[in-house]
Structure 1
Amino acid sequence: MKHLRQFISLSFIIFISSCDSQTNSCSELGNTIKKDNILLTSIDTLSLDQAHHFLKEQQEGISSLLKFSKINLELSTSTEDTIYHKEPIFDDFSDPILPNDTLATRLNYFFSKLYIRQQITYPSSYVSMNMYSLNMDIVKEHWNDPQNMPSIKIEKVFNTDKTISKDTTNFDKVSYRELGVAIPSSKYIDSIQVNITYTYPIIEEIILEHKNTRTKLPSGTVALENKTGNTILLSYPNTIRDKIIAIKGVHKSEKNLKHIGSSSNTKPSEEMLSYLECFNNKLKTTIKQIDSKKIKSKKVLASFLLKNTPIPPKNEQVTLSTYQFSGNVQKVKVYIQTGVSTKIKKTYIIKRSERDQKPTINYFLTVDKEKEKMGFVNEKGAWVILPEFEDLRMANDYYYHGKYKEDLNQTYWLDTNNNILKLVNYKLDEYEIFPENLVNIEKKTNGPEGVINAKTGHIIIPMKYDYIRPVNGFFITDLNNQEELYDKKGRKVLNKTFSSIQIKENLVFTSINTDTYYDKKDIYTLQGKNITNGKWNDFEDVSGKNGFGKDGLLLVYKKSSENNFMQVKNKAFINKEGKVIIDLNSYKEAKSFSNGLAAVRNNDTGLWGYINSNGKIVIPFLYENARYFMEKYACVEKNETAFLIDKNNKIFKQFSDNIQSSSITIDTNEAEYHLYNEESYDAEGNLIKGKESSTN
């Protein structure tokens, strides 16, 4: 407690000074204190003995402070030997500290990609911009200062009715992420032209390493005091502490290491420590002068102190910061804000966001500022549906949710033929508007579904189905697991119900469950014409991506079961008219076409070859297995060895093992071949996974 009291007293004497002299050597005292200095005024009312005691307390306090500072510095600089023995963890996701020219380019791009939102508050509008999308924390912090906030001034407003309004209004900061401005118009806005004036922080990169451990800046010196393993010790003046943007520990690989911990403390600056040493000696001399009776009065004491006490320097302290990283540090990068850029002024055209585009019909949701009710204005900003509603929320161009009596989630339909907003007794199953202004509706949540024409209000598919699935301009309905197909006019395409309906490549694939092993399957045109008429009961990979594929041919089967044994009675490739193009009954097995060729298996030898879309054998029956052709090559197997062959049956690559499994997309060049030895290759024989990577 004694030392604490002495230190407080010392702080009171030394650090409350209006002088800024930088004298730091007893041999070069320069100026000395004046009569109004707090040291002299503090002893003015004391007796000589009391002044002697007071000065002795100050001298002991300074000695303790100097001793403490020395020990503190020694402890800080003697960092523990912490060699990092684990694999380094790199900071790949940290915000980059960009060079100033790159920063300026990024900011120009950011402003060019801003978007506006408009809330029409008749007879005016509120326009806002979201600034939060800026992904540069350095600039965000700079702009958080009101003095640095960008100035955004409107010059012109471009309305969707092709009119242009001139304006000189500035955007104001509404929140930490939003700028907003009121403009005197209720017209729907397409875009605005603005002048943006802004600045950004100037960032300097300092690199500290064994060859260069200190960098002197106008505001003080940044020094690497110690570097051991994954731990560094930095020192810098407190005056620049808040200007340090980031400190990066750099691995020998030149990658930034992940920061895992830090601590800091402060000590007086070198100038202040030198001054305290000097002042401490002066106090010792003064005390000895009193003890030896050379100073016999308060007047002599005051005169002696006036002549011998130096003026203190500025009270600048130094921060000592220890940082630890997840890897051994080769060098240190310190990023400091050293200034602010000159003002940049540019003109931009700011559009609406992609999610806030103009409705396809010219009805714009509007709040009446005086009534605080909601209605709709047209493109000219005039009322077309008077403001009589509360809490309306847009679902799509024709439907809104809003309050009716106590219910906040009632559904309203916008009747554009009669300019009214009408409360309806159904809900939206989906918000999307399909071609011909069609919308899925339901009687209640998870209730029977139907389809309505949102423009006319006419229900074209009755609300009786368990679910309705829109596909390519058609609607597949399901009721009790029986499916039907409707077109966009609400007409039934097929006069039957099916257990399954799929629309693929402008054809309709149907299936009816039977008591046999195979369902009854057929293919129809979108006009309802049956092109297969029960000739086939199995289609190759109809639910997948290929279907008829690039070659317009579908692999079909006629299968039957006799004595619980499945048999293929007939197989062929057919075209989209249902005509047999290639009869496959002379082959034991076949696979779908891919990139112009199809693998077929010989009836006698069981070996595989390939045919073209005319049915001609172009690669002979040589292989024990044959996979789908990619753009250049197909994977085949012979004598327990896998190869890639081209369309001329030339071997492009021989693999080191046989194929364990493969992943192939027909009619593309996407394939992966996985070998038993754990290697994997792509469609062109490039290694994508080696043996060693399988264990990582």
Structure 2
Amino acid sequence: MSKMLFHSLLKCILLSLSLLCSAHLLAQERAITPEMEAELREEFKKHSFPEIKKMLREQSDSLKKHQEFGSIRISAGSITNQQTEHVDKFIPLSETEINSKYHEYLNGLSFYQSISGDLSTIQTNYNSYHLSQLIENYDDYNYPKHKLNVTGVTFIDGSTATISSGNTEGNGNLNSAKRIASLSMTASYTLPLQPKQLHFSHGDKSIQEQIELVQMSGQEVELKLPESVHKNILHVEGIDNSGRALKPLGSSSYSNDNYYIGLLQTFTEQALQQIENHQVKDKEALLQFFINNYPSQEQAHKTHPPSFIATYQFQGEVSAINLFMRPESKTETYSFQLTQSNQRYFNDLISAQDKTGKKYGLISELGEWIISPRYNRLEYAVGDYYYATEAHKDVNNTSVYRLNRNEKRLELQPFSFTQYEPKPLQNKYVYITKENDRSRLQGLLNIQTHQIILPVKYNDIEISDNFYGAYNINNKKSDRNYEIYNSHNLQLILKGTFDIVTFDGSNIITRYTTRTIEPLKGNTPYYAIENDKYYLYQHYDIYDVNGKKLNDNHYYQLDSFSGFGKDGLMPVTDANGKRYYINRSGKNAGLNVSKYEVIYPFSNGLAAVKGIKNEYGYIDTSGKLVIPLIYRSAEMFQGGSAKVENGNVTLLIDRKNQVVHTFNDSVYTYTNRQDGDKATYTQNNGVTYDEKGQELVKKEGE
């Protein structure tokens, strides 16, 4: 035996019993087993007798030092300069609480069914880690892993089946391709019973459950107990003299086997004495001395079990501890149904694989192949349309196909979609484009009738209830060439060059800009200067649902953020600077508003107006001033109130000019929606109020 190995042999006996000799020592009452004897003989052959004697002397000194070390109390160090910190008292887990949280989690699970040929694979989003994390301190109990099993399947047609194979993670396999409506599940997990609680106060000399309080000093507590009992401790809670729980800072523990180490040291000294007295004169005699006299650890532990010391520290001076022992437990079984599926069936069909997992087709909810699996890729797009890749093409080379269900086939389409997941407008329109068209021109498809409403030739398309507006951009002039269609009969009703077109119910509002070198004749003060050379005049026109122009002369100002609204009235300014309201027929509504310097859009039946003295009030749809000109500013009525400023005070008033709310700080942002039924107003201090003046509490994460 080498010097290192020889020393390791003795040290493993003394310290850890986990190396070469430990298995033999623990398994047999006899200290030196036949296996060890054979090993020692081989090692003794490698060393001279004087070398072995020297090793024994070194080992004796080492054992003596280890005995001295074992008598020293080990402390984790001083922490007296830390301030006292309290925590909530330890509350053992409640069986009812665990069941409630687990049931809520389990009932909220969902499942996914993937189909290959006539087989299905079932997966749930169950995660045993998530389940254990629901309950604080649950992992401290070291219970077996939770189990979740699929016990039955119910299909969309009401028939049932059992899985052919599965695991305890909520997954399984099934010999059917029918759509699964629900899963019958059984979960099993371990519940703790009530733990036993022990209490030790300062100076307590009692021994409870083989646990002895060695000392309680300052922020530290030291316990003496068998190692097996230490493993059964669930929680140690430090209590100060006020009865409050202290924050734990950590713990340490060590085993003290000084009695057996003493036996080993005595044995080593005896062996050396035998050599000195020439009673042992050679290696064979020394080997026999080892075999006959080596002390048995098992026998020593029967009479003198090793002591185990555990130390606990807290952030504050400890006057008592509550010690909770690991309780008995029971296995709980919970059966439930999962009905929430992550499956995406469209048109009662889903993309599925063949048995090889290489080709895709469409299968019905009842497990019937409507489109046989012959595509390298097959994914749902929108309506009756799918993305597919033919078998002879690269998987990324997809085209758009339309499902012909009657003939059970997919028909190639002459277009692609502008978005990979098209979102239908008005539940029936999607934008289309040509495949591999870098210019990205657009057209419009009705996915319900499969009719291409507008061909693929426009830069952009806008849709409303009554109109389709399509245009191409003239980059040189920064304007747009529009074609506007009546959405009901698909007739082209208006064509022209405009800066912008707005659809407002049954009306079309257009704006275009005239550039001139000289000012236009007449009283037309509304213009801009471009490059110190051109006069720019913006002209507004109003059209009806058939594209008929309703105004004889251009308007020069319209409100940018509103239209006719539900009151059917819109403020305009003509070329002469005259302001008035028109109705949807394009006629002057006849409201007497000439005395006001500025008129604003109607919202919920009232419109703000500005007098010649820069004071604001409100008129109704007849033109009557119903809220006097007393405010410094006035906004739209939303949800029954409007924001106004009276001097330096910001208010919300109702339609009768009664104060709804007074803001206690400046309002820096707010909604301003024509005919809005709700509103929000946020102050500089971050507090937000609604249209009733009630404070809105932010939800967590906002």
Structure 1 residue 196, shift from structure 2 partner? 1.5
Structure 1 residue 440, shift from structure 2 partner? 2.1
Match of 1:622 in 2: 630
Cα–Cα, structure 1 residues 378 and 37, in superposed 2: closer, same or farther, change >3 Å? same
Query: What letter corresponds to residue 367 of structure 1 in structure 2?
Result: Q
Q: Is the 8 A contact 1:536 1:556 kept in 2?
A: no
- Residue of structure 1 aligned with 2:258, choices 256, 276, 282: 276
Match of 1:501 in 2: 501
Q: Is the 8 A contact 1:442 1:449 kept in 2?
A: yes
- Give the Cα–Cα distance (whole angstroms) in 2 for the partners of residues 641 and 577 of structure 1: 39
Cα–Cα, structure 1 residues 152 and 308, in superposed 2: closer, same or farther, change >3 Å? closer
Query: What letter corresponds to residue 598 of structure 2 in structure 1?
Result: E
- Give the Cα–Cα distance (whole angstroms) in 1 for the partners of residues 233 and 481 of structure 2: 69
Q: Is the 8 A contact 2:211 2:223 kept in 1?
A: no
Structure 1 residue 685, shift from structure 2 partner? 6.2
Cα–Cα, structure 1 residues 531 and 587, in superposed 2: closer, same or farther, change >3 Å? same
Query: What letter corresponds to residue 98 of structure 2 in structure 1?
Result: L
Match of 1:152 in 2: 149
- Residue of structure 2 aligned with 1:411, choices 396, 399, 416: 399
- Give the Cα–Cα distance (whole angstroms) in 2 for the partners of residues 182 and 660 of structure 1: 61
Cα–Cα, structure 1 residues 208 and 595, in superposed 2: closer, same or farther, change >3 Å? farther
- Give the Cα–Cα distance (whole angstroms) in 2 for the partners of residues 346 and 652 of structure 1: 54
Q: Is the 8 A contact 1:138 1:245 kept in 2?
A: no
- SS of residue in 2 equivalent to 1:494: strand
Query: What letter corresponds to residue 665 of structure 1 in structure 2?
Result: N
Find out whether 1:352 has 2:341 as its counterpart: yes
Match of 1:585 in 2: 594
Find out whether 1:672 has 2:681 as its counterpart: yes
Query: What letter corresponds to residue 672 of structure 2 in structure 1?
Result: T
Query: What letter corresponds to residue 73 of structure 1 in structure 2?
Result: I
- Give the Cα–Cα distance (whole angstroms) in 2 for the partners of residues 524 and 500 of structure 1: 14
Query: What letter corresponds to residue 521 of structure 1 in structure 2?
Result: Y
Structure 1 residue 580, shift from structure 2 partner? 1.9
- Give the Cα–Cα distance (whole angstroms) in 2 for the partners of residues 388 and 613 of structure 1: 66
Match of 2:110 in 1: 115
Cα–Cα, structure 1 residues 123 and 328, in superposed 2: closer, same or farther, change >3 Å? farther
- Higher deviation after alignment, 127-136 or 330-339: 330-339
Match of 2:571 in 1: 556
What are the within-5 Å matches in structure 2 for residues 394-543 of structure 1?
Answer: 394-396=380-382, 397-403=384-390, 405-408=392-395, 409-416=397-404, 417-430=406-419, 431-432=421-422, 434=424, 437-443=428-434, 444-446=436-438, 447-454=440-447, 458-471=451-464, 475-480=468-473, 481-486=480-485, 491-492=490-491, 494-497=493-496, 498-504=498-504, 508-515=508-515, 517-524=536-543, 528=547, 536-542=555-561
Match of 2:533 in 1: none
Match of 2:175 in 1: 184
Deviations 1:281-319 (A, max 9, x none): 784599489969999898899689689972267789778
Query: What letter corresponds to residue 65 of structure 2 in structure 1?
Result: S
- Give the Cα–Cα distance (whole angstroms) in 1 for the partners of residues 442 and 238 of structure 2: 62
- Higher deviation after alignment, 460-469 or 501-510: 501-510
Structure 1 residue 351, shift from structure 2 partner? 3.4
- Give the Cα–Cα distance (whole angstroms) in 1 for the partners of residues 399 and 238 of structure 2: 59
Q: State the number of aligned residues.
A: 629
Cα–Cα, structure 1 residues 370 and 537, in superposed 2: closer, same or farther, change >3 Å? same
Structure 1 residue 513, shift from structure 2 partner? 3.6
- Give the Cα–Cα distance (whole angstroms) in 2 for the partners of residues 484 and 337 of structure 1: 79
Structure 1 residue 411, shift from structure 2 partner? 0.6
Q: Is the 8 A contact 1:208 1:224 kept in 2?
A: no
Query: What letter corresponds to residue 463 of structure 1 in structure 2?
Result: V
Structure 1 residue 674, shift from structure 2 partner? 4.8
- Higher deviation after alignment, 407-416 or 294-303: 294-303
- Give the Cα–Cα distance (whole angstroms) in 2 for the partners of residues 305 and 452 of structure 1: 94
Match of 2:523 in 1: none
The structure with the larger Rg is 2
- Give the Cα–Cα distance (whole angstroms) in 1 for the partners of residues 610 and 189 of structure 2: 73
- Give the Cα–Cα distance (whole angstroms) in 2 for the partners of residues 670 and 649 of structure 1: 18
What are the within-5 Å matches in structure 2 for residues 19-58 of structure 1?
Answer: 34-36=29-31
Match of 1:61 in 2: 62
- Higher deviation after alignment, 585-594 or 201-210: 201-210
- Give the Cα–Cα distance (whole angstroms) in 1 for the partners of residues 332 and 297 of structure 2: 51
Cα–Cα, structure 1 residues 304 and 223, in superposed 2: closer, same or farther, change >3 Å? closer
- Give the Cα–Cα distance (whole angstroms) in 2 for the partners of residues 592 and 70 of structure 1: 92
- Give the Cα–Cα distance (whole angstroms) in 2 for the partners of residues 467 and 660 of structure 1: 38
- SS of residue in 1 equivalent to 2:184: strand
TM-score in terms of structure 2 length: 0.68
Match of 2:374 in 1: 388
Match of 1:563 in 2: none
Structure 1 residue 222, shift from structure 2 partner? 12
- Give the Cα–Cα distance (whole angstroms) in 1 for the partners of residues 621 and 372 of structure 2: 66
- Give the Cα–Cα distance (whole angstroms) in 2 for the partners of residues 688 and 376 of structure 1: 49
Query: What letter corresponds to residue 590 of structure 1 in structure 2?
Result: I
Match of 2:518 in 1: none
TM-score in terms of structure 1 length: 0.68
- SS of residue in 2 equivalent to 1:385: strand
Deviations 1:164-188 (A, max 9, x none): 1332545336xxxx7543322233x
- Give the Cα–Cα distance (whole angstroms) in 2 for the partners of residues 579 and 255 of structure 1: 79
Q: Is the 8 A contact 1:375 1:385 kept in 2?
A: yes
- Higher deviation after alignment, 45-54 or 612-621: 45-54
Query: What letter corresponds to residue 150 of structure 1 in structure 2?
Result: K
Q: Is the 8 A contact 2:195 2:327 kept in 1?
A: no
What are the within-5 Å matches in structure 2 for residues 603-682 of structure 1?
Answer: 603=612, 605-629=613-637, 631=639, 634-638=642-646, 640-642=648-650, 645=653, 647-650=655-658, 661=668, 663-666=670-673, 667-668=676-677, 670-672=679-681, 674=683, 682=689
Cα–Cα, structure 1 residues 234 and 206, in superposed 2: closer, same or farther, change >3 Å? farther
Structure 1 residue 235, shift from structure 2 partner? 12
- Give the Cα–Cα distance (whole angstroms) in 2 for the partners of residues 533 and 213 of structure 1: 104
- Give the Cα–Cα distance (whole angstroms) in 1 for the partners of residues 78 and 693 of structure 2: 57
- Give the Cα–Cα distance (whole angstroms) in 1 for the partners of residues 215 and 428 of structure 2: 69
Find out whether 1:164 has 2:172 as its counterpart: no
- SS of residue in 2 equivalent to 1:599: strand
